[in-house]
Structures are given as structure tokens and as C-alpha cells.
Amino acid sequence: MSEAINREDLYLFQTGKARQAYLTFGCHYQKQTKNHRFTVWAPNAKSVSVVGDFNFWNPLAHPMKGDKDGIYTIEIDGLKKGDLYKYYVEGYDGKCRYKSDPFAFYSECRPATASKVWDFDSFKWSDKRFINQRKKKQALDQPMSIYEMHLGTWKMPEDEEREFYNYREIADMLIPYLTKMGYTHVELMPVTEYPFDLSWGYQVTGYYGVTARYGTPEDFNYMINELHKAGISVILDWVPAHFPRDEHGLAMFDGTHIYDHEDPRKGSQPDWGTLLFNYGKPEVQSFLISSAMFFADVYHIDGIRIDAVSAMLYLDFGKQEGEFVPNEDGTNINYEAVDFLRNLNEALRNTYDGFLTIAEESTAYPKVTSDVDDPEGLGFSYKWNMGYMHDSLYYMELDPLYRKDNHGAIVFSMDYAYSENYILPYSHDEVVHGKGSMINKMYGAYEEKFASLRALYGFTYAHPGKKLLFMGGEFAQFVEWRDKEQLDWFLINDYEMHNSFHEYVAKLNELYKTEPALYELDQDPRGFEWRLQRDADHSVLAFVRKGKTHRGKKQEQILCVCNFTPVEWDKYEIPLEKKSKLTKILDSSELDFGGDGDVSEEKVRTKRVKVPGEKGKASYQNAALISLKPLSVVYYKIEEVEEKPKKPAKKIAADKSSETKAASSKAPAKAASSKAPAKAETKAASSKAPVKAETKKTVKSEPAAKKETVQSQSKPKTTGSQSAKPEEKSSKTESKTQINKKKPTTKETVVKEKSEIKKKVAEKPKKDSEQGIK
């Protein structure tokens, strides 16, 4: 890497501005001198020397030269790749310690702890196209389905002499699997070097080296390169919150607390037995930020998930009264950590296009996700929605009988869904330490558990937010994750229910990636609309996900309906805004997915249904009548049907007024013959009565658009000029009025009416009568 130490680089390191400190510190081959240069920061050490196989671990063989700032350096010749070394540090406290290189690129496999001389010149990358497309691929409006995994226990060799597969072998097995299952991203639990297996990598001693458990740095490069060629992004769990107390690590590196706090109330985490980084030291910020930049630069990582962000943000996290020191103003926010996180996110996201930073943060700290130039935000790309995870699992663990009393647990997430850019995680933390596997968390007997988990996953994939699932959850492994054994892959081959569930998750991923309505507007309230939110008594939810609007195209919409009870609801009314045609694209009750095959309707048309209103006044709305199967979820694509525009109320009133005037002006013409009125009445009565009866029947069973069609078809056809049309309308209106007001007809009334008509006709001038007849 770097040929010589640049004083400007040292200045950046000392002021917290270094972003590539790994080019200066650590062990680097110098092409000009053909030596290896070692550089380390130990400001309070009395002396430092390099020891290793090459000098028989003799502290006197290669003493380092330190400057006034405590930066020690030396060049040694004759070294080769893979040679072991450590720093022998005589500390300020008078104690001598053998320390691993904090900037080592590779180390021995535990329990050994020595660093190794290493370089990266031999690997050739071929993922340029992927890197160039990463910004678009990882934009907020793109799908993100993450497979979280632990490399050591995903699959393990059958050969007892081998403990783990290496990075290359894992890649060759993992990529076809992820491709088949439809995942877009893979998240690796920490691969930075760590000494204790049961920490799962969350207690790091080597912030610049991948763990030797699974092979060499070149092997890791191969895995990332091949994943990129397959179109799969890689997210790395990264731990800048705390570090272990191991003798060879960062703790008391030069006999003082250069990486942590001297005051244990600030510098220790009692729950974990670890030490907390001191973000107030600029060198610590340079060390950590450069570590994250190193993995983006050298290993082409596409994102990092930062573990335990809450432990960084709060001075009293996991501590009792007297175990922490509050700020001078009495608050508990770690402002130095806030500054560090902002600097970290700015460096990564501004340097690497499309790079993701993800926070595991479990409190309501505001604006965790924001633009990097937002002075009030932390600058993360995404935040894990821990509240959604806990609430949804709590709800599904309940006896369905009691879910109606806890309905808020399953709908509350939408109250804050747009406050951050969220990922919905079912992570490793939820399937360990006696919490039970995902399938075992579900209430009920064997088949009910599977149906419940299918319903929960279906709800999650339709819910706004990106998706994350820990390995084993995709085929409903019954046992918790075991950190010393591989997953129970035999379940897929030997048990139909697990195999079917496996296919169900693959189908969810396929739909999620191919239906923009499920992801395009995750961060926009316009992409979600409740249709049934408060139906607690039936534990039914319904909502619509919407895609972006495009000129000349209808907006894509998907209806999701969930029934979280073991009861079937037949022809359940799902209200929709407009008249629509629905086509089913997912049903969790399908036989192929492990259901009983009793499924909801394939196609549904909305109907107009009566809805009780205030003060006894009813109204009508569009609704899809869907049979909801027990413990199920269904997706329907919505195609809205255009309805014929209704005539405005003012226009109708104007028409009625003109009809009335026309009727009064034409009345003499109708009275020209003594027999004409009776015939008109009889004809109107015989033609109008059936229409009224038919219209009443339509209200009960037909949508509004159909009522309009029936009425228009029942009206008599008109002929002749337009001037004749008002006369016909007037005649119909007058006849209808007469029918409505007319009392039961008797012989006496008919005779009386005819006599009155004859009298009126006799009084009219003959000329007018002739004109009326014409």
C-alpha cells in the first residue's frame, strides 16, 4: 500500500479526520526498499518493539522509534507474506504486554492471536458493473430482502476433522441458494477477527482483518466478488460500540486507556463485560471510521449494520444509578457518540455511491435516518424497526381468542412507519437464549403454527419497510439457532410441510421483487392505505399498497387481507374506494405452500353494499366480498374500473324545471280528445310500474353503475326531432306524478273526470286545439 509515512496523514489521524488510516498504520511492504514498514500508535508507552518468528520473539531485536506524538515505526527486511508478528509494548504502568496489531490485515486462527504479514496485491476483481449500478440498486425505492446468516453454522462439513467451510466453499453453495430463494442482499454476522466463538463476532479484536476461521482475505474477496457477479449485495455487521478486555487486544494497549475511558463509569458496559470506545478522542474516531472505510474500499462491502447503537447514544444504557456519569446539564445523551456517528455516515455515504449504513437502534431517538447533511440527523440509510419485530411476535404468540383485545400490537407500527427509513427484521436475536424459533413462537398445534407463520410473513412482506430474515426462518426450523451446529437442512428434504413453507418464502420474495407496489413507496404515506384497520373483533386486517404514478399508466395497487383467527369468514366485505376487478396473486392456504387447499376466490368484482350511517341514514360503498380462510393472507392485484359519470345535481334540477314548464305548455294538446287522457294514464301506469319495481330490486343487488344502465334501458326510445323530446319527458313526468297522487279508481271518478275534460275542451278556442293537434 503506502510507500512512506505522510505527515499530513498523521495530522488527519490525530485530529479525527483520517479516513484511510490503514494506509499509514499497520504492516506495509515498501517496494522501493523491499522492506516491511510497521507503524503503531502508543502515545503513553515507554517503549515498543516488533517481535515474531523472524527474530525468535526477541523484544530487543527490532525496537521501534517513537515520535513526540507516540507514533512508533520501523522497517524490517527479509519478511515474507504470512510471517507472524506482535508488538511488545512496555506500558506506562510498567507492565509489558504482547499486543496484536490493531491494523493487522490478517491474523492467526483462535486460540492463537498473532498478527500476520499480509498484502492484497494478488486478487483481481471483476465486479465493476455491479459497483457502478449499486447506487440505483440500493436506492430507497428499490426492493431489499436481506438474508441474515452466520457463516460458521449455515452449513458445516461432514468431515469431523474440518470445523468450517472456507469463504470460497461457502460462496459456491450460498449463491445458488440465495438466487433460488430470491434474496437481494445477504447480511453477514461479524467476520472481523474475534477470539471467543460464543460472542458470534460481536467482541472484536481485529478491526481490519477478516477472521481466519473461514480462510484468507483473498478467499473472502472471492466470496464478495462472486456474490456481486450474481447481483447480490453484501452487508457486514460491524461493531464500533465496545470491545473485549482480552490481553492481546485494544484494552490497556500502552498501559493506559487510549481506546476507552479511564473512568469505568464511562468506559465499561457491565451487562457485556466489555469496554466502551472513547469517541471524544480524535484518534479513536480515525481508527474506527477508517475500519469501516477499509471494508468498503478493500473488500467492496456494500453496507454495514452497526450493532448496539443505543449503547452508544445513551450514557446510562444497561447501567444502574451510580454506574454512569450524566452530562453537566443532567442529560444522558452521549454527544461524542452522536458526533462520531454523523462523521461515520458522512464519510461512507459521500465516498461510496449507494453505500448503506444501517442502525440497530431500539429507542425512539429522533432522526436516526436522514440525509448526511441534515444537522439534526445521524445520517443512517436505514434503521431496524425493533418495535415492529417485538409487537408482531407478541401478537402471534397469543391465543387467537385474545388477539382482539391486543389488536393495537399488530396495527400500531403504521402510526410511526414513516418516521424513519425502516427495515423489518426477524433477526438472530429473536431465535436464541430460550426465545424459541420463529415457528415455535406461533400459537397452536402443528398445522396452525405453519399457517400462522405464513400469515405473519405475508403480512410483513406487504407492510411498508425493507425485509430481513435470519437463516433457518425460511424453512421454519423448529429448534433455536445453535451456534455450534449447522441448520437442520434435512427438514426440507424429509418433511413436506417444511419444504412447502420453503417454497412459500421463495414465492414471497419473487412477488416482492416483481411488484413495485410492494416497495416503491415504502417511505411515502401515499403508498399505503388502510381498508380495514380497526376490525379487532374478527382480527382481520386489509390494506392497499400502491406504486408510483406514471404518465399514461394506471397506478399499480395490491390489496393485502389478513385473517389472524382460526375461523373462516365467508364473503367478508373489504371496502374499496372505487369499482374494481381483483385478481389473486398469493394465497397462503394453497396446497403448494402447506395449506389445506381451501382457498379464497381467484377473481373478485366489487359490489355496491349498504353501509349504516348516522341518524339511521344509510349510504353505499364499493366492497370486495372475499372468503377469508383461517389464519391466512391473500394478495390481490387491483384493476380499477371506470364508472360512467353521474349527472350533477344542479343539472338534474334544471332539467326537471324545464320539463315542468314544457308539461304546462303542452297540457291543452293532450286534452284535445276526451279519450286521450285516460289512455295516457293507463299507458303510463302500465309502463311505469314495472320500471319502479325493477329499480328497487337493483338497489339491493347491483352497483350504482348497473342501476344507471338498467334505468336507461327501460326508458322508451324517442324518435323525431329534438323539439319532441321535452314533450315526451314532460308527459312521463306528469303521468308519474298522477300515478303517485292518484287515489284508487272507481267508476264514478272516471265518469266525473271525463265530464270535466269535455267541459274544458269546449271552452278552448278551436284554433288553439288545432294547433295543439298539429
Q: Is 360 a catalytic residue?
A: yes
Active-site position among 193, 360, 520, 727 = 360
Pairing mode, strands 96-99 and 145-149? unpaired
Mind listing the pLDDT tens digit for each residue in 92-103?
999 999 999 999
Mind listing the pLDDT tens digit for each residue in 167-214?
999 999 999 999 999 999 999 999 999 999 999 999 999 999 999 999
Instruction: Assign 765 a pLDDT band (cuts: 50, 70, 90).
Output: very low
6 pLDDT above the threshold of 90? no
Burial of residue 371 (number of CB atoms within 10 Å: 0-12, 13-18, 19+): exposed
Residues in a beta bridge with 35:
30, 77
Cα distance between residue 504 and residue 331, in whole Å: 48
Residues in a beta bridge with 384:
423
Mean of pLDDT values over 612-639: 91
- Nine cell digits for residue 298: 478493500
Instruction: Assign 227 a pLDDT band (cuts: 50, 70, 90).
Output: very high
The per-residue DSSP string of 386-398 comes to HHHHHHHHHHHHS
CB 49 within 8 A of CB 62: yes
| Residue entry with cell 417511505 | 523
604 pLDDT above the threshold of 80? yes
The per-residue DSSP string of 160-222 comes to TT-----HHHHHHHHHHHHHHHT-SEEEEPP-EE-S-GGGTT-S-SEEEEE-GGG--HHHHHH
Which element (helix H / strand E) includes 265?
helix 264-267
Mind listing the pLDDT tens digit for each residue in 425-481?
999 999 999 999 999 999 999 999 999 999 999 999 999 999 999 999 999 999 999
Pairing mode, strands 603-605 and 569-576? unpaired
134 pLDDT above the threshold of 70? yes
- The whole-number pLDDT of residue 615 equals 73
CB 104 within 8 A of CB 79: no
- The whole-number pLDDT of residue 616 equals 72
Between 716 and 313, the more confident residue is 313
Q: Is 148 a catalytic residue?
A: no
Q: How many beta carbons lie within 10 A of that of residue 674, not counting itself?
A: 13
- Nine cell digits for residue 29: 511492504
Between 729 and 589, the more confident residue is 589
CB 480 within 8 A of CB 437: yes
Mean of pLDDT values over 701-730: 37
Mean of pLDDT values over 529-543: 97
Mind listing the pLDDT tens digit for each residue in 331-346?
999 999 999 999 999 9
Between 773 and 591, the more confident residue is 591
- The whole-number pLDDT of residue 701 equals 33
Mean of pLDDT values over 699-705: 35
Instruction: Using a pLDDT cut of 70, give the percent of the chain over it.
Output: 83
Pairing mode, strands 619-628 and 569-576? antiparallel
Alpha-carbon separation of residue 527 from 347, 417, 523, 575, 679 (angstroms): 31, 11, 8, 17, 61
CB 685 within 8 A of CB 739: yes
- The whole-number pLDDT of residue 659 equals 60
Mind listing the pLDDT tens digit for each residue in 166-177?
999 999 999 999
Q: How many beta carbons lie within 10 A of that of residue 218, not counting itself?
A: 14
Instruction: Assign 611 a pLDDT band (cuts: 50, 70, 90).
Output: confident
Please state, rounded to an integer, the average pLDDT across all residues of the chain.
87
695 pLDDT above the threshold of 90? no
- The whole-number pLDDT of residue 686 equals 40
Cα distance between residue 152 and residue 154, in whole Å: 6
Instruction: Using a pLDDT cut of 90, give the percent of the chain over it.
Output: 78
- Nine cell digits for residue 774: 298539429
Cα distance between residue 562 and residue 557, in whole Å: 17
CA 599 to chain centre: 27
Strand order from edge to edge, sheet including 603-605: 528-532, 540-546, 557-563, 632-640, 580-587, 603-605
Cα distance between residue 526 and residue 529, in whole Å: 7
- The whole-number pLDDT of residue 662 equals 56
Cα distance between residue 267 and residue 259, in whole Å: 9
- If we measure between CA atoms, which residue out of 283, 273, 345 comes closest to residue 309? 345
- Nine cell digits for residue 202: 460481536
CB 205 within 8 A of CB 193: yes
Strand order from edge to edge, sheet including 65-66: 26-30, 35-41, 71-77, 65-66
Instruction: Assign 774 a pLDDT band (cuts: 50, 70, 90).
Output: very low
Q: How many beta carbons lie within 10 A of that of residue 309, not counting itself?
A: 26
Mind listing the pLDDT tens digit for each residue in 643-686?
776 666 566 566 666 665 555 555 444 444 444 333 333 333 34
For 10-20, letters b (16+ CB in 10 Å) and e give bebbbebebbb
Active-site position among 260, 307, 488, 590 = 307
224 pLDDT above the threshold of 60? yes
